[in-house]
Structure 1
Amino acid sequence: MSTLLTLLGIAVGAILTYLFTRSHEQEKHYRLLQTGAYADYLRAVAEAAHLSLQSDEADLFARAADAKTRICLYGSKEVITLLAAFERKGGIIGNAQQRKAFVRLVQAMRVNSTAQIPDIEVILFGENG
């Protein structure tokens, strides 16, 4: 009887370990997809702010659209709401309102961070930005 209970305990332990590991891996994969979408979008916005004659605008806009689509799929509710607000303001960093909307978006993407908005603004736009 004790052998049966031991085997049952081992089986239950193995099943639970498998289920918890699988859940953790799925969560990790989702987080990687989310982070990748956020980073790709931020990169596209930064590149758009520095367009030059040699820039391939079509490629840039295609990458931005791809990143926005992935944000709609994997982004948090707050990030999607703030991305929509930034897009309503033009989706570029051209004036103070657009910069403020962009900084709020970046801060929401960094949900686990304690970075303050003034620090993010200095990093993104410089001391006099």
Structure 2
Amino acid sequence: MSSAVVALLSILGVVVGAFLQNYLAKQNNESKQLLDSRNQAYVDFLEAVSLVVAAQRLGKKEQEIEQLARLTHAKARICIFGEESVVRKLASFWAAGASLETESEILAFTRFCLDIRRSLGLKDKELLIGEVSQLLFAIKPPRS
């Protein structure tokens, strides 16, 4: 093989390698940005739920309204960035009433939280619904 062909193949290899590296880096960056947006939406939603409930229990209407706005914003971002299963569980929680006052609402919220865990790649060996309900609401529902 002539040195010109070897040089041409070397240059071609470098160019293809650079394009491939750029493409993979871009894909990785887009995935990371989506994951960051998703995680922030989840955190903001959970924080807003806690603050809404606290404001309701303390009778602070102005704070409740402010946190409801944050909650709505985070809910919208979950609808945009969230995994399909998480969006479905959020819709189930909302359909159940979304006030965290009844057993069905609490169970729907707990399932929503567990689905967030799964969407983040956490592989639980057992269903943690009892433990999560105990930690969030000081109740332990029967295993289903």
Scaled by the length of structure 2, what TM-score is found?
A: 0.82
- Is residue 48–residue 92 contact of structure 1 (8 Å, CA) maintained in 2? no
Asked if 1:113 is matched to 2:125, the reply is no
CA contact (8 A) 2:41 2:74 kept: yes
Q: How far is the alpha carbon of 1:121 from its aligned partner? A: 1.8
RMSD of aligned alpha carbons: 1.7
Q: TM-score, normalised by structure 1?
A: 0.91
Q: Percent identity?
A: 28
Q: Which residue of 2 aligns with 1:58?
A: 65
Look up the match of 2:77: 70
Task: Please tell me whether residue 7 in structure 1 is matched to residue 14 in structure 2.
Answer: no
Q: Flag structure 2 segments of 5+ consecutive residues without an equivalent.
A: none
Q: What is the CA-CA distance between 1:80 and the residue it aligns to? A: 1.1
**Structure 1 residue ranges (4+ consecutive) displaced by more than 4 angstroms after TM superposition:** none
Contact kept, 8 Å, 1:82 with 1:104, in 2: the verdict is: yes
- The separation in 2 between residues aligned to 1:80 and 1:127, in whole angstroms, is 25
Contact 1:45 1:92 in 2 (8 A): no
Q: For residue 127 of structure 1, report the CA deviation from its aligned partner.
A: 6.0
Aligned residue runs from structure 1 range 24-39, under 5 A: 24-39=28-43
The answer to whether the 8 Å contact 2:133/2:140 transfers is no
SS in structure 2 at match of 1:56:
helix
1:125 equivalent in alignment to 2:137: yes
Return the alpha-carbon distance in structure 1 between the equivalents of residues 84 and 140 of structure 2. Answer: 32
Instruction: Report the count of equivalent residues.
Output: 129
Letter in structure 2 aligned against 1:118: G
